[in-house]
C-alpha cells in the first residue's frame, strides 16, 4: 500500500474487522484514513487515532456522517461559551403521522395508531407524560437501533459527553419539542444533568420537513431578550424559554465527505475529536432473549445488528475478566454458557474469535491503561 499513488484511504466496508485491518495497513504505509466504518471506530478508534499521530498522518471521521457533523456543531457551541445541555441526532427513519388514516409509517411499514390523535401536542402541564404515552402507543415500532448508539459512542469518546441512560431515552418527538424534553428534569425535561448525548425519533406529518437524520445541540438561554428575538425569527426554544436547539437537519453522507478529505490531506485537520479521542465509553450488548450455549453470534443486514442483542453504552473497560464485550467484537463469537434475557454479554459468556479488531483492542487497552 505504501507505494500506491493516493493520500487518504476512505474505509467504508462496514465490516468491523476488515475496517481495522485496512485502517491499520494504511496508517503504517503513511496514508491518512477517513473512517466511515463506525463499527470499527467504536472498538478501536482511540488506538487508531494515536497510531496515526505516531506516523504523521490522520485517522478521522468524515463529514456527512453524524459523528463528525455533531462534533463540529459541539465545537462551535463550546467555543462560543454556551452551556451544553444535550446533543445528538435524529434516528434514521421518521415516524410519519397520517391523521386521516390514524397510522404512523416508519421505514416503509405502516402501523395503526389511533391514540396518536390526542398525543400529537404536548400537555402544557406535563410534557413528559405525553411523550411517555407516545412511546407506549408506538411500541411496535423499533425506537432505537444499533447504528444510532454506535455513532453516539464515537461522539462520546471524542467529546466526553455521556448518555443519560445506557439504552438512551430515544423519545418520539416533533422537532419543535426537542429542547423542551432534552433539558434537565429541573427545567421540565427528562435529563439528570447537562452534557448528555441522546437520539430522538422525529415525529411529523407527511407534509412537514424531516429532520433528515441531522444533528443538534440544546443550549441554555441566558439572555431572555436575545432568545425571544431569536424565537420570533423562528428558532426553536423550549416551552419555558429556558433552552434552545441549534441544529443541522441533514447528513448527506458521501456528498459532504470530500471536504473532510481535503481538510485532512491539504491542511492536516481532522473532522472529529482528534487527539481528544480517548476510550471513555464502549458500545456493549444485552440479551433480549434467552441464548443457548453453543450458538454463534452473527452480524446481519446493513444496520449491522446481531439477533437477540440490544445495544447499550457503558463506561469503557479493558478487555479482561468479566468485562462487558464491545458490541462489534461479538460477530463470530461462540456462546459458552446459557444466557438469560436481560443479561449483559461479558467475556465470561463468550469465546471471541481471533481477529485484527481484537488484537488492536488489546493494544488500545494497554496504551490507555491507568
Query: Cα dist. 289→229, 282, 338, 345 in Å?
Result: 51, 22, 11, 12
Note the pLDDT tens digit of each residue in 195-209. Answer: 999 999 999 999 999
Nearest to 335 by CA among 308, 288, 296: 296
pLDDT score at 301 = 78
CB 63 within 8 A of CB 259: yes
Rounded-to-integer distance, Cα 221 and Cα 83, Å = 8
Amino acid 2: pLDDT:
82
Tell whether 268 and 309 lie within a shared domain.
Answer: no
Q: What is the CATH number of the domain that holds 303?
A: 3.90.1210
Q: Which of 26-40, 113-127, 146-160 has the lowest mean pLDDT?
A: 113-127
With respect to residue 91, please indicate whether it lies within any of the assigned structural domains.
yes
Q: Which of 171, 147, 197, 193 is nearest to 38 (CA)?
A: 147
Q: Do 84 and 228 fall into the same domain?
A: yes
Please give the residue range of the domain that contains residue 84: 67-248
Taking only the tens place, the pLDDT of each residue in 38-53 is 999 999 999 999 999 9
Asked if 220 and 285 sit in the same domain, the reply is: no
Query: Same domain for 60 and 73?
Result: no
* pLDDT for the residue numbered 84: 99
Both 118 and 266 in one domain: the answer is no
Tell me what the mean pLDDT of segment 64-73 comes to.
96
DSSP 199-238: EEEEEE-TTSPP-TT-EEEEEE---HHHHHHHHHTT-EE-
CB 175 within 8 A of CB 204: yes
Average pLDDT, the chain: 96
Count of domains observed in the chain: 3
pLDDT computed for residue 245 by the predictor = 98
**pLDDT tens digits along 231-280:** 999 999 999 999 999 999 999 988 999 999 999 999 999 999 999 999 99
Q: Does 358 score more than 70 pLDDT?
A: yes
Single pTM value for the model: 0.96
2 domain residue, yes or no: no
Q: What is the pLDDT of residue 303?
A: 78
pLDDT at 370 over 80: no
Amino acid at each position: 500500500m505504501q507505494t500506491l499513488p493516493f493520500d487518504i484511504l476512505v474505509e467504508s466496508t462496514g465490516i468491523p474487522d476488515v475496517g481495522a485491518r485496512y485502517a491499520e495497513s494504511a496508517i503504517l504505509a503513511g496514508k491518512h484514513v477517513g473512517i466511515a466504518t463506525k463499527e470499527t471506530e467504536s472498538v478501536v478508534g482511540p488506538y487508531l487515532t494515536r497510531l496515526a499521530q505516531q506516523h504523521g498522518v490522520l485517522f478521522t471521521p468524515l463529514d456527512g456522517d453524524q459523528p463528525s457533523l455533531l462534533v463540529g456543531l459541539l465545537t462551535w457551541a463550546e467555543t462560543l461559551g454556551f452551556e451544553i445541555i444535550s446533543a445528538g441526532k435524529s434516528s434514521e427513519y421518521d415516524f410519519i403521522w397520517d391523521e386521516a388514516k390514524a397510522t404512523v409509517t416508519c421505514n416503509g411499514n405502516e402501523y395503526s395508531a389511533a391514540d396518536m390523535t390526542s398525543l400529537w401536542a404536548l400537555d402544557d402541564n406535563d410534557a413528559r407524560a405525553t411523550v411517555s404515552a407516545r412511546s407506549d402507543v408506538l411500541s411496535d415500532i423499533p425506537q432505537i437501533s444499533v447504528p444510532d448508539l454506535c455513532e453516539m459512542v464515537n461522539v462520546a469518546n471524542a467529546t466526553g459527553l455521556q448518555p443519560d441512560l445506557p439504552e438512551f431515552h430515544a423519545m418520539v418527538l416533533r422537532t419543535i419539542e426537542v429542547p423542551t424534553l432534552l433539558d434537565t428534569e429541573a427545567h421540565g425535561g427528562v435529563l439528570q444533568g447537562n452534557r448528555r448525548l441522546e437520539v430522538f425519533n422525529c415525529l411529523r406529518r407527511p407534509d412537514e420537513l424531516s429532520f433528515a437524520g441531522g444533528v443538534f445541540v440544546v443550549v441554555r438561554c441566558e439572555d431572555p431578550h436575545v432568545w425571544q428575538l431569536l424565537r420570533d425569527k423562528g428558532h426553536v426554544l423550549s416551552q419555558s424559554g429556558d433552552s434552545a436547539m441549534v441544529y443541522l437537519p441533514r447528513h448527506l453522507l458521501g456528498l459532504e465527505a470530500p471536504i473532510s478529505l481535503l481538510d485532512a490531506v491539504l491542511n492536516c485537520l481532522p473532522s472529529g475529536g482528534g487527539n481528544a479521542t480517548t476510550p471513555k465509553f464502549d458500545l456493549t450488548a444485552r440479551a433480549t432473549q434467552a441464548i443457548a450455549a453453543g450458538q454463534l453470534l452473527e452480524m446481519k443486514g446493513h444496520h449491522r445488528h446481531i439477533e437477540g442483542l440490544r445495544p447499550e453504552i457503558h463506561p469503557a473497560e479493558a478487555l479482561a475478566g468479566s468485562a462487558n464485550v464491545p458490541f462489534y467484537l461479538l460477530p463470530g463469537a461462540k456462546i459458552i454458557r446459557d444466557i438469560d434475557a436481560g443479561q449483559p454479554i461479558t467475556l465470561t459468556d463468550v469465546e471471541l474469535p481471533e481477529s485484527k479488531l481484537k488484537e488492536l483492542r488489546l493494544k488500545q487497552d494497554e496504551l490507555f491503561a491507568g
